[in-house]
A = this chain, B = another copy of it.
């Protein structure tokens, strides 16, 4: 009875029978054994999405960057990674048998071109130049595959959010994109969030809410679009 009630309130098993891969958290790109380049993603939104997808009946694989968060109840598999390159490999593998990929991780666009084996020593009085190399584009490499899951991206921007999100949707060949504005108490390292979800010929604005509630609304929207496009 409880399970039925949960299913009813969380979307009637809208993703029942589907394999869904969710990425979450930041990636850390090591400079040396001590230092790294990171980003402010807490992983909370992605973990909430993984939980909501499991509640909706999906078999969820959660690929998580370095975060200290417990695996949500009902998530079938969790793969912990640190760098974007590791996340890339894990997601490609997991997506070979998934119908939907929701990329909520804040993937590092760049990594140090060389990783020092020993801790770099400070050179007194001298500035330092860090040479960075572009990371693999996870969403881009998925969408270029002949058969690939229904692709849902995220855009976390500080400015021109709508324009950038729609551009990323087209440029990367995504099915949907969820855009959240960072700052003003929203987005990274916060509890509340607000999302604008775009697809080729529509959009849905999800008002400011807790990440758990917002994730459920997003998952319901993804399920609806997935059924419309892929049956």
Residue positions of A touching B, CB distance < 8 A: 28, 31, 33-40, 68, 106, 108-110, 113, 118-119, 122, 124-134, 156-159, 182-183, 188
Contacts and interface: CB of A to CB of B under 8 A. Distances in A.
A28 B113 CA distance: 21
A223 B110 CA distance: 46
Contacts of A68: 68
A130 B133 CA distance: 11
Question: Assembly of this chain: how many copies?
Answer: 2
28 contacts: A31-B37, A33-B183, A34-B40, A34-B106, A34-B188, A35-B108, A36-B38, A36-B39, A37-B37, A110-B122, A110-B128, A113-B127, A118-B158, A119-B156, A119-B159, A122-B134, A124-B134, A125-B134, A126-B134, A127-B131, A127-B132, A128-B132, A129-B130, A129-B131, A129-B132, A130-B130, A130-B131, A130-B132
A129 B113 CA distance: 10
